[in-house]
Copies of this chain bind each other. A is one copy, B any other.
Amino acid sequence: MGKGRLEAFSDGVIAVIITVMVLEMKVPHGTDLEALAPIVPVFVTYVLSFVYVAIYWNNHHHLMHTVQHVNGAVLWANMHLLFWLSLVPFVTGWMSENHYAALPVATYGIVLMCAGIAYYFLAHCLMSTHGRDSAIARSLGADLKGKISVVIYAVAIPLAFVRWWLAFALYVLVAAIWFVPDTRIEKRSGQ
């Protein structure tokens, strides 16, 4: 099967996710700077989540770029990734409306970690379909960034119960690591 509809459906789901998050930012009732104060943590979290979802879309774009064909297993691995991404607006809203309480901050990390693991599954599912010598296998290589991200999440989640900003800082760190698009694929696939 071709990859066209998989890409189109993923684009649609990620486009809706990234846009409905902003609906979590309730329009404030006041009109002065004080009315904006409770929005600030919501806005900061929105920016972080926007960057995270954007990173996943970029990486998905790079990953699928070298793919030639998909099968049923890839369809479900992709759905699994979209499932965890679809929970991002929920945990974004929960974390930001509760002044970064421990449990919501940890839950935010859990959802991100699951999305990271789902992305890893998808990449390896595609790799096993295309063979060890395929362009996609060579470009993924040791997938260092993917493994480091999951380790950082695993550290950050318990830290949320000590100091919320420690966990939050680690989430920002992972985003920063990925902000540079997955250049391994871009370069090695000779684009």
Contacts and interface: CB of A to CB of B under 8 A. Distances in A.
How big is the A interface, by class?
Answer: 35 or more
Given A8-B7, A76-B181, A181-B72, A23 B22 contact: no
A89 interface: yes
Contact of A61 (B57, B75, B181): B75
17 contacts: A5-B7, A5-B11, A9-B14, A12-B12, A12-B14, A12-B15, A13-B15, A16-B16, A17-B19, A22-B87, A22-B89, A24-B27, A31-B101, A35-B103, A50-B83, A58-B76, A75-B181
- Per assembly, the copies of the chain total 4
Interface of A: 1, 5-9, 11-20, 22-25, 27-28, 31-33, 35-36, 47, 50, 54, 57-58, 61-62, 64-65, 71-72, 75-76, 79, 82-83, 86-87, 89-90, 93-94, 97-98, 101-104, 179-181, 183, 186, 191
